[in-house]
Structure 1
Amino acid sequence: MKAATVSEIKKELKHRSPDELASLCLRLARFKKENKELLTYLLFESDSEEAFVEGVKEEMEAQFKLINTNSFFYIKKSVRKILRDVKKHIRYSPVKETEVELLLHFCSILKDFKPSIKRNTTLVNLYERQLQFIEKKVSVLHEDLQYDYTQELEALAL
């Protein structure tokens, strides 16, 4: 089965009633956890971006506390999983500052993580890549925000 294009779907949705649209959304939410999370963001959290960011930060901190620190293998696996979750939440929000803020928070937690990530090349490389990625994202923001975020970035440099 070939999927329809976004424009075709948009045209078809215009011809549907509100009840049909609601049932389609609910049916879509049943099939994938990400669809459900996106609908949750759009319906409940998009009004308050600050609360959304704080919630993701708290979740991130909780995940970092649960990391098995017995070996760097487990640490790397867990850090990658946390980063994947953060990037998934970033995709939900259209606000660019949210992306920068969440990634800065991720890097600050990772920098202060015990045992130190400096003892593992893979984690240091992951950290450095995220800092470079943040630099690119900061460059397209408003000048005042650029200054603030650049200050935070400089503080995070290893």
Structure 2
Amino acid sequence: MKSATVRELKAELQERSPKEILELCLRLSRFKKENKELLTYLLFEAVDEQAYIESVKEEIDEKFELVNRKSPYFVKKSIRSILNHTKKYIRYSQNKESELELLIYFCQKLKSFQPSIRRNRKVETLYFRLIEECKKKTHLLHEDLQYDYFRELQGLENLK
């Protein structure tokens, strides 16, 4: 089955009644956890973006505490998993400031992580790539915000 384009879907949804759209949304939420999470964000959490960011930060904290530190392989795997979850929450928000705030927070947690990420070359490389990604995204923001985020990023560049 070939899926329809966004334009076709939009046209079809405009022809449907509100009750039918409600049923479609509920049916869609049953199929994939991410659909349900996105719907939850849009309905309940998009109103207060700062509270959403704080809840994601708390989840990041919890996941960093549960990282398996037995071998560098497990550390890398766990950190990548946390980053994937963080990026998923960023996709829900689609707010550049929220994206930067969460990525910088992730980098701060990674910098203070024990055992040090300097012992694991792949995790260290991931860390510096994230810093560079944040710098590029900072240029898309208002000048006042750019200054604040650049200062935070400068503090993260040094891994000591």
> Which category describes the TM-score, using the shorter chain as reference length?
over 0.9
1:53 maps to amino acid: I
After TM superposition, list the pairs within 5 Å mapping 1:31-42 onto structure 2: 31-42=31-42
| Deviation, structure 1 residue 68 | 1.1
Question: Which 4+ runs in 1 deviate beyond 3 A?
Answer: none
RMSD: 0.5
Q: Which residue of 2 aligns with 1:25?
A: 25
Q: Which residue of 1 aligns with 2:127?
A: 127
1:44 aligns with 2:44: yes
SS in 1 for 2:16: coil
| Deviation, structure 1 residue 94 | 2.2
Tell me the alpha carbon deviations over residues 79-120 of structure 1, each in whole angstroms, 9 at most, x when there is no partner: 000000000000011211000000000000000000000011
Q: Which residue of 2 aligns with 1:54?
A: 54
| CA distance, structure 2, for counterparts of residue 4 and residue 120 of structure 1 | 44
SS in 1 for 2:29: helix
TM-score calculated relative to the size of structure 1: 0.99
Aligned residues: 158
| Deviation, structure 1 residue 38 | 0.3
TM-score calculated relative to the size of structure 2: 0.98
| CA distance, structure 2, for counterparts of residue 94 and residue 131 of structure 1 | 19
SS in 1 for 2:57: helix
Q: Which residue of 2 aligns with 1:108?
A: 108
